[in-house]
Structure 1
Amino acid sequence: MSLCLLNPEAIAEDRSSIDLIIKGDYIVTMNDADQIIRQGAVAVESGTIVAVGPFVDIDRRYRAKETLSGEERLVMPGLINGHSHAAMTLLRGIADDLSLNEWLNDYIFPAERTFVDPEFVRLGTELACWEMVRGGTTTFVDMYYHSETIAEVVDSCGMRAFVSATVIDQKSPDANDAEESLKNAVRFVTKWQGKHPRITPIFGPHANYTLNASQLRATRDAAKKLGAPISIHMAESMFEVEYARDNYGMGSVSMFESIDFFDGPTIAAHMVWPSEQEIRILAERNVGVIYNPTSNMKTAAGVAPIVRMLEEGVAVGIGTDGAASNNDLDMWEEMRIGGLLQKVNRMDPKVLTAKTVLSMATRMGADAIGLADSIGSLESGKRADLIQIMLDDVHHLPTYDVISHLVYVTDEQDVDSVIVDGSILMRDGRPLRIDRERVRQAAAALAQNIQIKMKEL
């Protein structure tokens, strides 16, 4: 036995063989203890994290087929974009500086009816995946049309996604009305449910001003029958709240509560205008809320009461919304702006600390969308969705507090490597599963065509 202990070859033979080790000068676990490990590593086998700890311990226990260097790098969970319309990257900048209603009704809805088809959605979602992977986003919740095509792109690009089939009571790119769009949604969810480890098909009723109460209730009934979550715009603008009051005699959240809409997993995007009573409803009904600060500022929708919702125990994540109202998919920007906006809105620099904001983009964000058991932190047994951040840029010098730097300094250009479900999607800042030149050329050609035809609308 003593000879074996002294024999390096015997020690090596005792190590378990695994797929991947990711090293880092810092491992920001985002676990319940907010543990940060210096000179650490994450061990991955078959898409699952099997160990997290100091590199010397990981190296003693495992030998990997591949190891990612950790020099001047930080390892953390991948970012979770809780609300997006991915294919709208192709409508980026098409209409700006407008109110939400004018932007939707006079520009976006007409443009979508004219240009959006499966190939538009395929290309736009590929462009979005490129942008999100480049920026360290590993999971996104999407709501758009031609959901089958979106799922196919997610499969090929390697990301994790909740893909919503949009339900809306107007002529849209893939349906004529609510009845047809709901049938399409049921068909999509039934086909994809449980069939893919990274893709969760869900229902995406648009809002309470594009669907009436019976149509919203029918969507929830269909979701309950299939055991599927719902993602929806809720209390985004004063128009929506006033619409609910005029038509239902109560606020937007209260209207949804009155029809038992929260009788299943619900991801509510925006939530800018809930009342105090409605915030308590959100907490009691375990509604996940997604904060979209840049989009809400750009459309002057308002400032969501994030601090109050957190105080009441609501799980709050962060989202970019679509690139047509943001106009990018940069989660680092959302974290920084979102945190600072709450401070100035409350006139209190102590609210929404960097640690809380980072949690909203990782661990709490996973909770808000119902994936807290599988992603959002670096812990044994969870899926291996993680990223490496380079710390060698001048804006990271000096580094006193890595959490502070991640929220107030880091940007998408600092992301070095991206791993989803144990597969490397980006290495050394280069996405590996997206044909960038093809996407670039196709997007430029389509944009030229859109710009010409928009003048005719």
Structure 2
Amino acid sequence: MISRLAGPVAGLLACVALAGGLGSGPAHAAPDLIIYGDYILTMDPQQPEIRDGAVVVEGDRIVALGSHQEIDARYVASRTLPGAGRVVMPGLINGHTHTAMTLFRGMVDDLDLMTWLNQYVFPMEGRFVTPAFIRAGTGLACWEMIQGGTTTFVDMYFYPDDIAAVVQDCGLRAVIGAPHIDYPSPGFKGWDDSFAAAEDFVRRWQGKDPRITPAFAPHAPYTVVPEHLRATVEKAAELKAPISMHLAEAPAESEFVAQQYQTTPVQHVAKIGMYDQPLIAAHMVQLNAEDIALTAQAGVGAIHNPTSNMKLGAGISPVPAMLAAGVNVGLGTDGAASNNDLDMWEEIRMAALLHKVNSGDPTELPAGQALAMATRLGAAAIHKAGEIGQLKVGMQADVIQVAVDKTRHQPLYDITSHLVYVLDSTDVVSTVVAGQVLMQDRKVLSMDEAALRRQVAERSAEIRAALAAKEDD
């Protein structure tokens, strides 16, 4: 197999296979960017690895991959990212988060989901979440994700126009869900106005920016009644928009749905029609065999949030069973209020380890599969398999470089093993989205760090004072 060949031979074959033949293009073409690496990890099962290679970018697309030698013989770029001691791979995909909740990071810990939500999160959101809060918190999240090599995220939070504006400015890619819920929430009195605003957001942002996909985001089966979920389904079908929602997250949700509707959360929303739409289902912890089969058949994307699920005591998602059934399972951090960071490398490692200890089988969820959940499978789970998640000609140039040349990285025998079990977010050195270099040599180029820190300090001082007053009551 090509993947077992080393050196220039593997690179040459890869370039021929992926770029349609080295001899087909003009000599010394001038693309916008060439990204070099000692290892090119494509996440393409047909050609997973190229040694001493390069990725060629024109505009927002990948136009060629191959060995360093062969790429240099064909292309001279206006900009290059050197690759000594680097792994080049697809950017990571955070399939579920609430970006602006970075401002609630560490606000309160060690509580069950419903206590955490009802006694702390919902009241604090009602008090503090404003457009200024959203801009500061989303900016902080985007900074963290750029530094950690996350290039795409799926968000669900209030004031989505402000989230989208931050994403436009910082250069990341996002699926932005406009939340709607049956209860009063920041900026809304209840269902009617929040749902109307969600529809308006989706209509206005469809086709507005190629890096932003607007989506509907009903909160969960326990906060949105069936007739309202049906309204979401109908409107999403009309507008051909995706849906993102929390589903089967915790025992309390399953108990509520069983009591109210005599079924499981998955089967409840599927009966309503949610499974007939491009759905991104976050958490998916409380599932039975019928739920898994239904999810696989419908092509619903499931997002595994191991750290958040463990921290809130929600349980362990049956990820190996979902993968075996053919479900596209991605990874997510959830919000920083329940994680407490947006580090996708932590989620990759946690997923690989959690399911080994849960099953008692050390072969469960091997390193390559965990990494795929943050890249190729994650792209499929958010319904963007043809755009991102792999390094292939014609796909979006969402690319990261990861350092493997530090003393603590030595020795290196297997690159996938190192990425999952050794490296962390601080090893990401360059982040590229849609062909634009957002970070180089650990320096974020697309955001003003000093201004961001000032915004965060202002908002967090208000929250800190409120927490102190709550403790005094």
TM range (shorter): over 0.9
Determine if the alignment matches structure 1 residue 199 to structure 2 residue 209.
no
Residues 76 and 387 in structure 1, CA contact (< 8 A), matched pair in contact too: yes
Cα distance in 1 for residues equivalent to 2:296 and 2:144: 33
Give 1:220 shift.
Answer: 1.1
Q: Write out per-residue CA displacement over residues 134-168 of structure 1, whole angstroms, 9 at most, x where no aligned residue.
A: 00000000000000000000000000000000011
Q: Following superposition, which runs of at least 4 residues in structure 1 exceed 6 angstroms of deviation?
A: none
Alignment partner, residue 144 of structure 1: 157
CA contact under 8 A between 2:302 and 2:329: conserved in structure 1? yes
The worse-fitting range, judged by mean Cα deviation, of 420-429 and 165-174 is 165-174
Task: Give runs of aligned pairs for residues 251-262 of structure 1, distance below 5 A.
Answer: 251-262=264-275
Give the SS at the match of 1:154: helix
Deviation of 1:32 after TM superposition, in Å, equals 2.2
Task: Deviation per CA, 1:261-294: give whole Å up to 9, x if none.
Answer: 1111000000001111010000011000000000
Match of 1:3 in 2: none
Select 2:344's aligned residue among 327, 331, 340. Answer: 331
CA distance in 2, matches of 1:411, 1:232: 28
* Amino acid of the structure 1 residue aligned with 2:312: T
Which of 305, 311, 319 aligns to 1:292? It is 305
Q: Paired residue for 1:97?
A: 110
Question: What is aligned with 2:20?
Answer: none
Q: Which residue number corresponds to residue 190 of structure 2?
A: 177
Tell me the distance in 2 between the aligned counterparts of 1:13 and 1:246. Answer: 67
Residue 25 of structure 2 is aligned to residue 25 of structure 1: no
Is structure 2 residue 405 aligned with structure 1 residue 386?
A: no
Q: Which residue is equivalent to 1:81?
A: 94
The aligned counterpart of 2:388 is 375
* Contact 2:149-2:431 within 8 A present in 1 as well: yes
Give the deviation of 1:445 after TM superposition.
2.5
Change (3 A) 1:234 1:331: same
Q: How far apart are the structure 1 equivalents of 2:164 and 2:237?
A: 21
Offset of residue 13 of structure 1: 8.4
- Identical-residue share of aligned pairs (%): 51
Partner AA of 1:103 in structure 2: W
Partner of 2:84: 71
Deviation of the 1:321 alpha carbon: 0.1
Q: Which amino acid aligns with 1:184?
A: A
Does the CA contact (< 8 Å) of 1:77 and 1:385 recur in 2?
Answer: yes
Matched residues in 1 for 2:399 and 2:408: separation?
Answer: 22
Q: 1:188 is matched by which residue type in structure 2?
A: F
Q: State how 1:288-437 maps to structure 2 within 5 Å.
A: 288-437=301-450
Partner amino acid, structure 1, of 2:119 = D
RMSD: 1.1
Residues 393-432 of structure 1, C-alpha deviations (whole Å, 9 max, x = no match) = 2221010000000000110110000000000000000111
Q: Is the 8 A contact 1:203 1:223 kept in 2?
A: yes
Q: Is this contact kept in 1: 2:139–2:452, CA < 8 A?
A: yes
Name the structure 1 match of 2:127: 114
Q: Give, in whole Å, the separation in 2 of the partners of 1:175 and 1:343.
A: 44
Q: Aligned to 2:120, what secondary structure does the other structure show?
A: helix
Aligned partner (choices 140, 160, 169) of residue 156 of structure 1:
169
The answer on 1:243 being equivalent to 2:256 is: yes
Distance 2:166 2:459 in 1: 18
Q: How far apart are the structure 2 equivalents of 1:401 and 1:312?
A: 28
Residue 13 to residue 214, structure 1, CA distance change in 2 (3 Å) = closer
Q: CA deviation at 1:441?
A: 2.2
CA displacement, residues 303-335 of structure 1 (integer Å, 9 cap, x when unaligned): 000000001000000000000000000000000
Shift of 1:14: 3.0
Preserved CA contact (<8 Å) 1:111 1:454: no
| In 2: Cα distance, 1:109 partner to 1:52 partner | 48
For 1:131, give the aligned amino acid.
Answer: E
Gaps of 5+ in 1: 1-11
Aligned length: 446
Write the distance in 2 (CA, Å) between the matches of 1:403 and 1:331.
Answer: 15
Give, as a single letter, the amino acid of the residue that structure 1 aligns with 2:316: V
Residue aligning to 2:232: 219
State the alpha-carbon separation in 2 of the partners of residues 114 and 211 from structure 1.
22
- Give the Cα–Cα distance (whole angstroms) in 2 for the partners of residues 13 and 113 of structure 1: 59
Name the CA distance, whole Å, in 1 between partners of 2:60 and 2:247.
Answer: 35
SS at structure 2 position matched to 1:418: strand
Contact 2:432–2:438 (Cα < 8 Å) also in 1: yes
* TM-score under structure 1 length normalisation: 0.96
Residue 17 of structure 1 aligns to a residue in which SS?
coil
Query: CA offsets per residue over residues 95-143 of structure 1, 9 Å max, x none?
Result: 1000000000000000000000001000100000000000000000000
Deviation at 1:94, TM superposition (A): 0.6
Give the letter for the 2:231 counterpart: A
Alignment of 1:116-131 (within 5 A): 116-131=129-144
Q: Distance in 2 between matches of 1:405 and 1:440?
A: 33
Deviation per residue, 1:359-401 (Å, 9 max, x gap)? 0000010000011101100000000000000112222101000
Structure 2 gaps, min length 5: 1-24
Query: Once the 2 structures are TM-superposed, how far is the Cα of residue 60 of structure 1 from its aligned partner?
Result: 1.1
Paired AA for residue 243 in structure 1 = F
**CA distance 1:277–1:443, shift in 2 (3 Å):** same
**Greater displacement, 290-299 / 394-403:** 394-403
Q: Distance in 1 between matches of 2:195 and 2:276?
A: 18
Contact 2:26–2:74 (8 Å) recurs in 1: no
SS state at 1:65 partner: coil
Helix, strand or coil: the match of 1:18? Answer: coil
CA displacement at 1:64 relative to structure 2: 0.3
1:455 shift after superposition: 4.0
Q: More displaced, 430-439 or 307-316?
A: 430-439
Find the residue that maps to 1:244 and give its secondary structure: helix
2:57 equivalent in structure 1: 44
CA shift, 1:345, in A, is 0.3
